[in-house]
A = this chain, B = another copy of it.
Amino acid sequence: MSNTSHAHSHDLEEGLALTPKFDAAGLVTVVTTDVANGDVLMVAHMNEEALRNTIETGDAWYYSRSRKALWRKGESSGKTQRVVEMRMDCDQDAIWIKVEQVGGAACHTGRRSCFYRAITKGEAGAAKVSFIDADKVFDPASVYKS
């Protein structure tokens, strides 16, 4: 956060203790970028166990809010993420990991990144959405068997 008008904790911001501020659901937000080009691949969440597993193994683990389950990225698709660098933010409620994306695609839609649509200002100030970097690296139907 870049918040200015409330009290900040000096220890939280300037300390070298890992004291994540998990939310009411026990999660912190995670931003995952591609170490090859800096692009944001996905935004997801980690609970305490996912964070610990990620630090210990060097593979990206998340917590799926919809499935309510710990999840090693790529465990079903094979498209794992190798963590090259991990950082935390000033108030310790967000994590940034730079990863090597195995298989070249992070998104379940088959695309490299989950961010494959741009928002621009259209007619009369209304929002306009268009595809950008939206080529599919793989066919989801052939990767995810149900």
Contact = CB atoms under 8 A, between A and B. Distances in A.
Interface string A76-108: 110000000111111100111000000000111
Nearest to A54: B119
What interface size band does chain A fall in? 35 or more
B118 A86 contact: yes
Nearest to A58: B121
Contacts of A107: 2, 90
Interface centre among A55, A62, A76, A85, by most chain B C-beta atoms within 10 angstroms, is A55
A137 interface: no
Interface of A: 1-6, 8, 13-18, 29, 31, 33, 37-40, 42-44, 52, 55-56, 58, 62, 64-67, 71, 73, 76-77, 85-91, 94-96, 106-109, 111, 114-121, 125, 127, 129-132, 144, 146
Given A42-B89, A56-B125, A89-B114, 8 more contacts: A3-B71, A5-B67, A6-B67, A31-B43, A38-B38, A87-B116, A87-B118, A91-B114
